Every structure is written in C-alpha cells, then in structure tokens.
Structure 1
Amino acid sequence: MYNNHFEIFELPVSFDINKDTLAQRYRDLQRAVHPDKYANAPDRDRRLAMQKTVQINEAFQTLKNPLTRAGYLLHLQGIDQNDGIMDGEFLMTQMDLREELADIKQKSLPIEAFLSRMEKQMQSLIDTLSQQFAQENWQAAHDSVRQFQFFTRLHEDALRLEEELI
C-alpha cells in the first residue's frame, strides 16, 4: 500500500501538480486494476483489485480538486482544516457577501458579476495557497483553505441561485 495519495500517482507531495500527468496515471492505474481483468481470479485477488480501485479513485478525487488537495496537504501535516476560529474581518466579509447574495435573490438582480468575483477570488486563493504551501507556511495555508471553503460554498450557492433565476 501507499503512504499517501501522491505516491499512488508517483507525484511529488505538493499543492502544484501536473493535472495532465495525474489524469494519465489515473487512467493507467484504472486499466491495471480494472475488475474485468480479475473476473476469473481467486476471490482474494478480486478483493485486492477492488480495494486498489477504491483507493485510486479516492486519491484521484482528492488530488484533482485544489480545495480537497489543499485540505489533504494540511492533513498530512497533522492539521485539521476545520479547526480554529476565523478572523473577525473575514467573518464580516462573509456576512456582507451573504447579504449581497440575498439581495440578488430578493430583487432578482443580475448574478453574473457576483459569480465572476467569486471565481476571481477562488483563483486568487489558489495562487496564494501555491505560495504558502511552497514556503511551508502551514498556518497561513490553513487560513486560506478556510477562506477557499467559504468562497467555494458561496459560489455553489450563487450557481444554484442563477438556476432559480433563469
């Protein structure tokens, strides 16, 4: 078995990964342990192939997404991404943005500009996390991951609202 998800795909333990390499190695591994290859194998071998398939899928899902990859990197450092108290200023920002989204819903205002701002904020956080992880600044990365979680949820809420408004 493997020590971490990065090892499965022979990638360096890093926030910045080559997504094409990840996808290619995922496909290669999936072919290697595909259940059809073990259809006539003993039960033990079929079970092991299924366990490897589950592990590969879980690792791929974690690493392909920047938010879950960041949380996983914190986990490898023994840091729970959900621990701690948010900065007071950021809590105020959260409330303001939630109010803005509620106003958009209540007044049926255009949502495109709001969505664009959330996407830019998430990209900015990805760039920030890249630097923080490269510098092994775990506490700052933890705080950025918490912000990234908020903006991701808010973006998802805004997308749902956009569907309602159409």
Structure 2
Amino acid sequence: MRSSIVGRNRQVLKSCEASTRRNFATNSARRPSLSGFVCLSCSRKLTESFNHGRTQRRRQSSTTSSQAASKTAPRINAMPPTHYELFPKTLSQGPPPSGPFHIDVRDLRKEFLQLQAVAHPDRHPSHLKARAEGMSAHINEAYKTLQNPLLRAQYLLRLRGVDVVEDETTKVEDPELLMEVLDAREEIDEAQKEEDLTTLKTTNDRRISRSEEILDKAFREDSMALATEEVVRLRYWVNIQDSLHHWENGEPILTHH
C-alpha cells in the first residue's frame, strides 16, 4: 500500500514540475514549494495523499495488533450440542449406543480440570469474559451430570425426549420393588448404630451396580423402554444410599419416591 502511494505521488510531482517550469520560463518567477518546482495546488494534493497514507497505515497496524491479541487468548468455541462432545479425550466414542454408558470418572475429572483452566474468565479479554463465564458454567454442569450414573442416565433419556424427572407416569409399578424400598427405609429408621446398617449398605451397593449394568445394556441396545424402567429403579436405590449417608453424618433423613 505504501509503495502505491509513493508511486502516485511521484507521478504528481513529475507532471507538476514540468508545468511549473513552463510557467517559470514565461513569468520569470519562482515560488517556493514542496519540491522545488511544485505548485501550491499540487502541494496540497501531496499533503492530503501523505495524510491519507498515514491514516491507512495506522488502521492496518491496529488491525494487526488486534489479530495478534486474539491469537494469544484461549479460544472459546460455540457450546457443543451434547455434554459428551465437551470431553473428546475421555468420551471419544460419544454417547450410547456408539459409546459405552460406563465412564472412567478419573479421566473425566482430569479433562474437566484442563477445560476449566482454558475457559476461566480471567484468561480472556473483557469483551469475551461473558462468553467464557457461560462456557465455564456449561462445563461444570456437563461434568456434574456425566460423573453421576443416575444424572447421566436421565440426561441420555432426555436427549431422546424422555424426561423421567418431570414425567410422573415414568414410575415402576413393581410390588416387589416397592416392598424392598419400604423395608430398607424401615431398617434405616430403626437403626441404633452405624453397624446396624452395614448389611443394608452392602446390599444397596450391589443393587446400584446391577442397575448400572442393566443401563449399559439398555443404552447399548438402544432400548429406551428398558432404560427408562431401570433409571426409575436406580433412583430408588440412590435415594436409599443418600439416606444411609445422612444417617452416618447425624443429619435428618430425607426420603424420596
């Protein structure tokens, strides 16, 4: 751009100098100018051309500086469609049925910490902070959901249009299951010391593991009916697990259906 401006200026000088020499020969008068034999009119044109070039160079320098600053800042991409796509290292196969229901929680946490280190709002310029905060919150929500088998299963069903949390019709009408749940709650209520609940804790842990195995099979086979039924069942076992945890810590026991 600078070379083109210089070229135009030289043409103006050459033309103007020839004209001014003719005037000088005729009038025997020489007026001081920008380049010896340059008229006042062309002097103004050259000054305007110079100022225009300087403005253009400043703009180009500012644009280059902005581009350099944007390259040094961590990139905040658009939020992905699913939680799984946030963790490409740990969950490279994606959600079921292409990927497994089970997740290595340790690997998930490592990738979660790496993502949060990049997305932290303090690492971004002011005009990107709001977007970084939104991405950071999205990463937190995704990690919280995926590291918990019950929340993960509910999320996968929600992706298929099945909301077992809000839909009251998604309950298991199994008398044997309901009896097991009532017996567990009664045992918790009657416990006098922590050792009284040892057997129930072991039994309930096995129930949770079994539900996770069934969910893995259901999602792998893309059986939403089986997955829905087992998610409701797992929710009962998780509620009992929470009640056992509260009992150990001397907190009020909260039971849910």
Q: Do both share a fold (TM > 0.5)?
A: yes
Q: Does 1:72 align with 2:155?
A: yes
| Contact 2:191-2:197 at 8 Å conserved across structures | yes
Moved more, 83-92 or 140-149: 83-92
| AA partner of residue 186 (structure 2) | E
Q: Does 1:103 align with 2:195?
A: no
Cα distance, 1:108 vs. partner? 8.0
Aligned to 1:52: 135
Cα deviation 1:63-111 (Å, max 9, x = unaligned): 0111111110011111011332322322222222222222325x98711
Aligned to 1:8: 86
| Contact 1:129-1:144 at 8 Å conserved across structures | yes
| Contact 1:62-1:72 at 8 Å conserved across structures | yes
SS in 2 for 1:110: helix
| Contact 1:122-1:148 at 8 Å conserved across structures | yes
Gaps in structure 1 of 5+ consecutive residues: none
Cα deviation 1:111-143 (Å, max 9, x = unaligned): 111111111111111111111111111111111
Aligned to 2:233: 147
Cα distance, 1:155 vs. partner? 1.2
> Larger radius of gyration, structure 1 or 2?
2
| AA partner of residue 139 (structure 2) | I
Moved more, 29-38 or 88-97: 88-97
| Contact 1:115-1:159 at 8 Å conserved across structures | no
**Structure 1 pair 67/108, CA: closer, same or farther in 2 (3 Å)?**
closer
Which has the larger helix fraction? 1
Cα deviation 1:24-65 (Å, max 9, x = unaligned): 321221111112212xx12x3010111110001110110011
SS in 2 for 1:111: helix
| Contact 1:66-1:126 at 8 Å conserved across structures | yes
CA distance in 2, matches of 1:51, 1:2: 12
CA RMSD after TM alignment: 2.1
CA distance in 2, matches of 1:85, 1:19: 29
| Contact 2:171-2:232 at 8 Å conserved across structures | no
User: What TM-score results when the alignment is normalised by the length of structure 2?
Assistant: 0.58
Aligned to 2:121: 35
Moved more, 95-104 or 53-62: 95-104
Matched-pair identity in % = 27
Gaps in structure 2 of 5+ consecutive residues: 1-78, 252-257
Greater RCO between the two (CA within 8 Å, min separation 6)? Answer: 1
SS in 2 for 1:16: coil
| Contact 2:116-2:136 at 8 Å conserved across structures | yes
**Structure 1 pair 109/6, CA: closer, same or farther in 2 (3 Å)?**
closer
CA distance in 2, matches of 1:65, 1:95: 24
Match of 2:221 among 114, 135, 152: 135
